[in-house]
Chains A and B, each alone.
Chain A
Amino acid sequence: MYLNRLIAGAASLLALTVSAGAQTTLTIGTVNNSDMIRMQGLTDEFTKAHPDITVNWVTLEENVLRQRVTTDIATNGGQFDIMTIGTYEVPIWSKQGWLAPLDNLGQAYDVDDILPPIRNALSTDGQLFAAPFYAESVMTLYRTDLLEKAGLTMPEKPTWTFISEAAEKMTDKDAGVYGICLRGKPGWGENMAFLGNMAREFGANYFDASWQPQFESDGWKQAVTLYVDLMTKYGPPGAASNGFNENLSLFGQGKCGMWMDATVAASFVTDPKQSQVPDKVGFAPAPCGIDNCPNEGANWLWAWSLAIPQSSQKKEAAQTFIAWATSKDYLDLVASKEGWANVPPGTRTSLYENPEYTKAAPFAEATLAAINKADPSAGENKPYVGLQFAAIPEFQGLGTAVGQVMAAALSGQQSVDQALAAAQAQATREMTRAGYIK
């Protein structure tokens, strides 16, 4: 009996001591990309400066993460204190009241240094709800050696007409070189991200001012017809199953002449460890399909960002971590440990004013130009926020369904007209069901 009491007493004493030096444990849900892995490796630097906070990382596959955090937020589960989300989720979730505002990032944080398009995309009614970790727009990546061999020079502002001509001349199927590689794998964040952007380059949106889907408009017809035509003639075989990663491998193996995709691809294809053509890559703006096309072709804006769900019980500590992870000092820290080329791109003006960075990253200028041109805000003929996606909850399902139809057109199972009619019908049905169209 006596021993029992002694143990109980000792245990409660221990509990008291532990709670006196209370540790806050932050659980962070994230995706597995090189910048995030790097951040996990540098967490010690944060905990050294904040010994009262410990950090738990939960890394998941992108779609699992989305499902996981959506469930957590919708059921108020409180499993995460910080989560990694994109520019698609932020406007929707902040309007639902699911995210805590980031209003206490500290003086040194310098919110105004965040590139304006990114800051706007992550704010609702002027209030920041997520802090960007890295950001991207769209650009043309091309093989300088192949273009030269074809006797062409990349114009300052390429058009789709030029791209078509270049794709034809660069293609050498016997040597396994394809003039153009584009996304074909179905999914709202895969082929639809590219096609939504390409349709904008021909002046077309997903919906008009009264939320009518626009898949049968002239812009979409021109864009998809050209896309299927180019990919059939000059694209790699089996393109309907190629997403970002597959094209990244193809380009890295020297099998693509040109590739229009996320600006973040530039840092991979110029890295000798991941690419066989690191010093033969040029960067140009995304092409336009019409004169004065919207955003000069840069119709893509994405930022992997850190946000705090309202269900978190540790908002203050979470904000401290976010302020650290997306600060200028963090960029310096990465540069000092891993070199400037490995700094997460696309978020801060000061980074692009840093000569050390622009020297180490040959794609810096093109990336900055693209991001600064990409304006995702809603407008007169575009009732939604977003460029390569529409920031409404229905878009995930709708975009993926339409993406499947587009992949069918690319693989030749359907004609372009059939595919666009099917996309229009599906989108109209979904939008009517959701109450956008009466």
Chain B
Amino acid sequence: MARGISPTRKIGMTVLAWAVGFLIFFPILWTVLTSFKTELDAIAIPPKFLVFDWTTENYAAIQEQRNYFSFLMNSIYLSLGSTALGLLIAIPAAWAMAFSPTKRTKDVLLWMLSTKMMPAVGALVPITILFRNFGLLDSRIGLIVILCLINLPIIVWMLYTYFKEIPGEILEAARMDGASLVKEITQVLTPMALPGIASTILLNVILAWNEAFWTLLLTTTNAAPLSAFIASFSSPQGNFYAKLSAASTLAIAPILIIGWFSQKQLVRGLTFGAVK
């Protein structure tokens, strides 16, 4: 690949790549910087980039007002729980659609995706009433189910694409050797599709972590995750950008760190086929 590219072009491309990367990263950087400013510095015009009185008072104020860790624990429960539940349903579903498709399989896949097209607010009142009747309002288990259902179409689609790339003959061979259905899925299919499953898990954890409609509207205190934590620092009257930035920084930090460490797997899972 590198052959035939002149050094100047290579430098140019590198600079461009860094520039684009910086551009994408800039809003996050700005949020982090703002979180260390005073409220007055946060709104200063012209904006202050690095030269300002660095302060950690926003973090102290936030910790004083709310218990970050209870929100964090809820975020962890909800994103891991909904992803685990989703995989439990999606792996068999994707297996069935990939290896024993019927003539309606494509329609089913499209129909599943179509549920993502309805604005969530359209289902707000029915879901709230269901939750109220089942006593699920402000419960982690209720939200895990909802988040799982929201992300299920994406999990199934992703897994379906990965499974499709595994030759059916391998599974057939396993079957010829006397493997049961459970063994076929757990010992043959899953290990081969592991990179794909890993990136599906990661993407779903991120999606569930960032979900901010149902997590705000179906929780009060017990099940409220970090999205509710951030929302609580926006103020109708008075300056709040610095504190809001500090809250955002705290909320995105865990997922950013996980993403950073697992980016190799994520990129490999998204770009490579399952058995390459």
Chain A residues close to B by CB (< 8 Å): 27, 29, 31-34, 37, 40, 56-62, 64, 67-68, 71-72, 74-80, 244-245, 248-249, 252-253, 255, 262, 264-265, 268, 274, 276
Cβ–Cβ contact A76 & B132, under 8 A: yes
Interchain CB contact under 8 A, A64 and B221: no
Determine whether the beta carbon of B216 is less than 8 Å from that of A60.
Answer: yes
Cβ contacts under 8 Å, B217 to chain A: 64, 67-68, 71
- Complex CA–CA separation, A75 to B236 (angstroms): 26
Q: Which 4 A-B pairs have the closest CB atoms?
A: A59-B232, A61-B234, A249-B43, A62-B236
CB distance from B6 to the nearest CB of A (A): 45
Query: What 8 new A-B contacts, CB under 8 Å, besides A77-B132, A245-B237?
Result: A31-B236, A57-B221, A58-B221, A59-B232, A61-B232, A79-B138, A248-B239, A249-B43
Q: Contact size class for B?
A: 20 to 34
A274 and B241 CA atoms in complex are apart in Å by 13
Minimum distance in angstroms from A185 CB to a CB of chain B: 12
Asked whether any CB of chain A lies closer than 8 Å to the CB of B33, the reply is no
State whether the Cβ of B45 lies closer than 8 Å to any Cβ in chain A: yes
Inter-chain contact A64/B239, CB cutoff 8 Å? no
Chain B, residue nearest A76 (CB): B132
Q: Is the CB of A56 within 8 A of B234?
A: no
Contact B231–A64 (Cβ < 8 Å)? yes
Chain A residues whose C-beta falls within 8 Å of the C-beta of B265 in the assembled complex:
none
Q: Report yes or no: A32 in contact with B240, Cβ–Cβ below 8 A.
A: yes
Q: Is the CB of B239 within 8 A of A245?
A: yes
Which residues of B have CB within 8 Å of A264? Answer: 237
Q: Are A33 and B44 in contact (CB-based, < 8 A)?
A: no
Chain A neighbourhood of B138, CB < 8 A: 79
B124 located at the interface, meaning its Cβ lies under 8 Å from any Cβ of chain A in the complex? yes
> Is there contact, CB below 8 Å, between B132 and A78?
yes
Evaluate contact between B238 and A75: CB separation under 8 angstroms: no
Cα of A61 to Cα of B235 in the assembled complex, Å:
6
CA distance A276 to B40 in the complex (A): 9
Q: Convert B81-123 into 0s and 1s, putting 1 for each residue whose CB lies closer than 8 angstroms to a CB of A.
A: 0000000000000000000000000000000000000000000
Q: What residues of chain A lie closer than 8 Å to B232, measured between beta carbons?
A: 32, 58-61
Question: B181 an interface residue at 8 Å Cβ cutoff?
Answer: no
Q: Which of B213-248 contact A (CB under 8 A)?
A: 216-217, 220-221, 224, 228, 231-240
Q: Which secondary structure characterizes the binding site on chain A?
A: mixed
Chain B: minimal CB distance from A73 (Å):
11
B residues less than 8 Å from A72 (CB atoms): 128
A interface footprint on B139-175 (CB within 8 Å = 1, 0 otherwise) = 0000000000000000000000000000000000000
Determine if B39 is an interface residue (Cβ-Cβ < 8 Å). yes
**Residue contact A68 to B216, C-beta cutoff 8 Å:** yes
Q: How far is the CA of A244 from the CA of B138 in the complex (A)?
A: 33
How many whole Å from B40's CB to the nearest CB in chain A?
A: 7
> Are the CB atoms of B224 and A58 closer together than 8 Å?
yes
Q: Name the residue on A nearest B61 (C-beta).
A: A37
**CB of A177 to closest CB in B, whole Å:** 13
Q: Contact between B128 and A77 (Cβ–Cβ < 8 Å)?
A: yes
Q: A60-B228, A77-B132 are in contact. Are A244 and B221 (CB under 8 A)?
A: no
A79 to B137, Cβ gap below 8 A?
Answer: yes
Q: Closest approach, in angstroms, between the C-beta of A192 and any C-beta of chain B?
A: 15
B125 CB, nearest partner CB in chain A, Å: 6
B256 at the interface (CB under 8 A from A): no
B129 in the interface, Cβ–Cβ < 8 Å?
A: yes
Name, among B40, B232, B233, B239, the residue most crowded by chain A CB atoms within 10 Å (CB to CB).
B232
Q: What distance in Å separates the Cβ of B238 from its nearest Cβ neighbour in chain A?
A: 5
**Cβ–Cβ contact A32 & B39, under 8 A:** no
Which residue of A29, A75, A265, A268 has the most chain B CB atoms within 10 A of its CB atom?
A75
List of A residues within 8 angstroms of B236 by Cβ: 31-33, 62, 244
